[in-house]
Amino acid sequence: MCDKCGAAAPRSDFKELEPVLEKYADVEGSLISILQKTQDIYGYLSLETINYISARTGVAPAKIYGVATFYTQFRLEPIGEYLIMLCHGTACHVNGAALIEEAITDHLGISDGETTEDNKFTLNNVACLGCCSLAPVMMVKGPDGDETFGNLTKESVVKAIEGIQARA
């Protein structure tokens, strides 16, 4: 039982979240910071985690859910080990982002927002990665950090994904 809020004792996987809640639970206006750090830890915001944050902060679960669904940075579903963020900004769009997306979709069998059956890859189309000189470009977030791939062609994007698959 939590001495501070009376919530049930945290599951073992909430241990990583405790330092965040100790630091921010009583800080007015810190909900977004809590959610960002929670997502950094777990990869997404589960309903169970939202309810636990609610119990620890006193913020209603509906309000937390409302914030989590309002901002596109938050995910309510787990993602793959590798998150492919494919830029669809103006420069990338003009330089063939749709063809790159088609190659990724054909190779992995997933569309925007989907995760492969083996939970290795999730594809997310994003508005801009800020790498316009590399258009079309994608960033892949994985366990070893972020990788950026630019000047993509249908062939080079498949080769990049195959390289990641060989390491995974």
Q: What is the pLDDT of residues 121-161, one digit of tens each?
A: 999 999 999 999 999 999 999 998 999 999 999 999 999 99
- Is residue 13 predicted with pLDDT exceeding 90? no
Is 98 contained in some domain?
yes
What pLDDT is recorded for position 24? 94
- Is residue 4 predicted with pLDDT exceeding 80? no
Q: How confident is the model at residue 10 (pLDDT cuts 50, 70, 90)?
A: very low
Is 54 contained in some domain?
yes
Measured CA to CA in angstroms, residue 22 lies from 25, 51, 57, 71 at distances of: 6, 16, 10, 24
The residue ranking higher by pLDDT, 117 or 2, is 117
Closest by CA position to 73, among listed 44, 106, 34:
44
Mean pLDDT of 29-53: 95
- Is residue 6 predicted with pLDDT exceeding 60? no
Same domain, 158 and 89: yes
Count of structural domains within the chain: 2
What pLDDT is recorded for position 72? 79
CATH code of the domain in which 92 resides: 3.40.30.10
Same domain, 65 and 92: no
Percent of the chain with pLDDT over 70: 93
Q: How confident is the model at residue 2 (pLDDT cuts 50, 70, 90)?
A: very low
- Is residue 1 predicted with pLDDT exceeding 80? no
Same domain, 97 and 118: yes
What pLDDT is recorded for position 5? 42
Q: What is the pLDDT of residues 42-68, one digit of tens each?
A: 989 999 999 999 999 999 999 999 999
What is the rounded distance in angstroms from the CA atom of residue 28 to the CA atom of residue 168? 41
Residue 154 main-chain phi, psi, to 5 deg: -60, -35
What pLDDT is recorded for position 8? 43
In terms of residue numbers, what domain contains 89? 82-167
Closest by CA position to 68, among listed 51, 83, 87, 86:
51
